[in-house]
Structure 1
Amino acid sequence: MNARSVVGVIWLAGSVLGMAPGALWAAAPDLPEGLGAPASDTAEPSLPAGLGGKTEPEQTNEEPASAALPFRLRGFWEVRGGSRLNDVPHQRDLSIAETRLQLEAEKYLQGATVRLTGDVLYDDLADDRAVDLESGEGAFDLREASLVFSPSADTDVKLGRQILTWGTGDLVFINDLFPKDWVSFFIGRDVEYLKAPSDALKVSAFSGWANLDLVYTPRFDADRFIDGRRLSFFNTGRGRLTGRDAVVLAERPAEAFDDDEWAARLYRNLGAYEVALYGYDGFWKSPAGAEPASGRATFPPLSVFGASLRGPVGAGIGNVELGYYDSRADRDGDDPTVRNSELRLLLGYEQEIARDLTLGLQYYLERMGEFEAYRRTLPSGTPVRDENRHVLTQRLTWLTHSQNLEWSLFLFYSPSDRDAYLRPRVGYQVDDHLSVEVGGNLFFGAQEETFFGQFQDNNNLYLGVRYGF
Structure 2
Amino acid sequence: MKLPRAWSPALLAAALLPLPASADDEHAGIAMDHQHSARAELWSGDRQLSAHGNLAQASLWSQFRLDAGAAGQVLAKGWLRAQTPENAPALRRGALRELYWRQQFGDVQIRAGRQLLVWGRADGVNPTDNLSPKDFRLLTPEDADQRNGSDAVQFIYSTGIGQFSLIAIPALQSHRIPLPAMPGVQWHASEAVQQQAMALKWDYSGEGVDASLSLLRGPDVMPGLAHVSMNAQGLQLHMRPAQATVLGADFSASYGGLIWRAEAAYSRFTDSVEADSAALLQPKRHQWMLVAGPEAELGGNTTLGVQVLLQRVSGWRDPQSLADPLQRTLAMQQASFQNQTLASQYGLTWRLATRKLNDSLVAEVSGLMLAPERAGLWRVKVDYALNDQWHVQAGAERYFGPRSHFFGQLKDNNLLYLQLRTGF
TM-score tier, shorter chain, comes to 0.7 to 0.9
Judge conservation of contact 1:214–1:262 (CA < 8 Å) in 2.
yes
Alignment pair present for 1:261 and 2:194: no
What is the DSSP-based 3-state SS (H/G/I as helix, E as strand, rest coil) of the residue aligned with 1:193?
helix
Q: State how 1:202-241 maps to structure 2 within 5 Å.
A: 202-227=154-179, 233=180, 238=182
Q: State how 1:112-131 maps to structure 2 within 5 Å.
A: 112-124=72-84
Judge conservation of contact 1:199–1:221 (CA < 8 Å) in 2.
no
Residue 85 of structure 1: how far off its partner (Å): 11
Given candidates 210, 219, 224, the residue that maps to 1:288 is 224
Q: State how 1:187-336 maps to structure 2 within 5 Å.
A: 187-227=139-179, 233=180, 238=182, 248-252=187-191, 254=193, 259-269=195-205, 272-293=208-229, 294-329=236-271, 336=281
Q: CA RMSD in A?
A: 3.1
Residue 224 of structure 1: how far off its partner (Å): 2.3
Find the aligned partners of 1:126 and 1:179 in 2 and give their Cα distance.
30
What is the DSSP-based 3-state SS (H/G/I as helix, E as strand, rest coil) of the residue aligned with 1:340?
coil
Amino acid at match of 2:127: I
What is the DSSP-based 3-state SS (H/G/I as helix, E as strand, rest coil) of the residue aligned with 1:205?
strand
What is the DSSP-based 3-state SS (H/G/I as helix, E as strand, rest coil) of the residue aligned with 1:219?
strand
What is the DSSP-based 3-state SS (H/G/I as helix, E as strand, rest coil) of the residue aligned with 1:354?
coil
Identify the residue that residue 170 of structure 1 maps to in structure 2: 123
Given candidates 273, 285, 291, the residue that maps to 1:346 is 291
Identify the residue that residue 76 of structure 1 maps to in structure 2: 37
Residue 216 of structure 1: how far off its partner (Å): 1.3
Alignment pair present for 1:91 and 2:58: no
What is the DSSP-based 3-state SS (H/G/I as helix, E as strand, rest coil) of the residue aligned with 2:237?
coil
What is the DSSP-based 3-state SS (H/G/I as helix, E as strand, rest coil) of the residue aligned with 1:248?
strand
Find the aligned partners of 1:68 and 1:80 in 2 and give their Cα distance.
37
Identify the residue that residue 409 of structure 2 maps to in structure 1: 454
Amino acid at match of 1:454: Q
Judge conservation of contact 2:319–2:328 (CA < 8 Å) in 1.
no
What is the DSSP-based 3-state SS (H/G/I as helix, E as strand, rest coil) of the residue aligned with 2:132?
coil
Amino acid at match of 1:421: L
Give per-residue Cα distances to partners, 1:262-289, cap 9 Å, x unaligned.
1221122465322211111111212123
Identify the residue that residue 26 of structure 1 maps to in structure 2: none
Find the aligned partners of 1:147 and 1:129 in 2 and give their Cα distance.
35
| Unpaired segments ≥5 residues, structure 2 | 1-17, 26-31, 230-235, 336-340
Judge conservation of contact 1:289–1:300 (CA < 8 Å) in 2.
no
Find the aligned partners of 2:366 and 2:133 in 1 and give their Cα distance.
19
What is the DSSP-based 3-state SS (H/G/I as helix, E as strand, rest coil) of the residue aligned with 1:183?
coil
Of stretches 152-161 and 289-298 in structure 1, the one that deviates more from structure 2 is 289-298
Alignment pair present for 1:102 and 2:61: yes
What is the DSSP-based 3-state SS (H/G/I as helix, E as strand, rest coil) of the residue aligned with 2:187?
coil
| Aligned positions, number | 377
Alignment pair present for 1:429 and 2:388: no
Give per-residue Cα distances to partners, 1:409-467, cap 9 Å, x unaligned.
0011122221231110001122221111001111222x211122222222110011111
Residue 400 of structure 1: how far off its partner (Å): 0.2
Q: Taking structure 1 as the reference length, what is the TM-score of the superposition?
A: 0.73
Amino acid at match of 1:283: P
Q: Taking structure 2 as the reference length, what is the TM-score of the superposition?
A: 0.80
Identify the residue that residue 147 of structure 1 maps to in structure 2: 101
Amino acid at match of 1:462: Y
Residue 361 of structure 1: how far off its partner (Å): 0.4
Q: Which has the higher strand share?
A: 2
Find the aligned partners of 2:134 and 2:77 in 1 and give their Cα distance.
17
Give per-residue Cα distances to partners, 1:266-318, cap 9 Å, x unaligned.
12246532221111111121212321334211212111011122101321111
Q: 1:270 to 1:145 in 2, by over 3 A?
A: closer
What is the DSSP-based 3-state SS (H/G/I as helix, E as strand, rest coil) of the residue aligned with 2:199?
strand
Give per-residue Cα distances to partners, 1:35-82, cap 9 Å, x unaligned.
xxxxxxxxxxxxxxxxxxxxxxxxxxxxx9956696322212111111
Judge conservation of contact 2:186–2:237 (CA < 8 Å) in 1.
no
What is the DSSP-based 3-state SS (H/G/I as helix, E as strand, rest coil) of the residue aligned with 2:119?
coil
Amino acid at match of 2:187: V
Given candidates 399, 411, 418, the residue that maps to 2:374 is 418
Find the aligned partners of 1:371 and 1:191 in 2 and give their Cα distance.
30
Judge conservation of contact 1:188–1:440 (CA < 8 Å) in 2.
no
Q: 1:127 to 1:249 in 2, by over 3 A?
A: farther
Find the aligned partners of 1:220 and 1:282 in 2 and give their Cα distance.
8
Q: State how 1:175-186 maps to structure 2 within 5 Å.
A: 175-184=128-137
Find the aligned partners of 2:45 and 2:64 in 1 and give their Cα distance.
36
Find the aligned partners of 1:322 and 1:127 in 2 and give their Cα distance.
43
Amino acid at match of 2:241: F
Amino acid at match of 1:439: G
Find the aligned partners of 2:375 and 2:145 in 1 and give their Cα distance.
25
Find the aligned partners of 2:150 and 2:187 in 1 and give their Cα distance.
22
Q: State how 1:27-38 maps to structure 2 within 5 Å.
A: none
What is the DSSP-based 3-state SS (H/G/I as helix, E as strand, rest coil) of the residue aligned with 1:173?
coil
Q: Give the structure, 1 or 2, with the largest relative contact order (CA under 8 Å, sep 6 or more).
A: 1
Q: 1:122 to 1:129 in 2, by over 3 A?
A: farther
Give per-residue Cα distances to partners, 1:72-109, cap 9 Å, x unaligned.
222121111110499x9943123x42111223232110
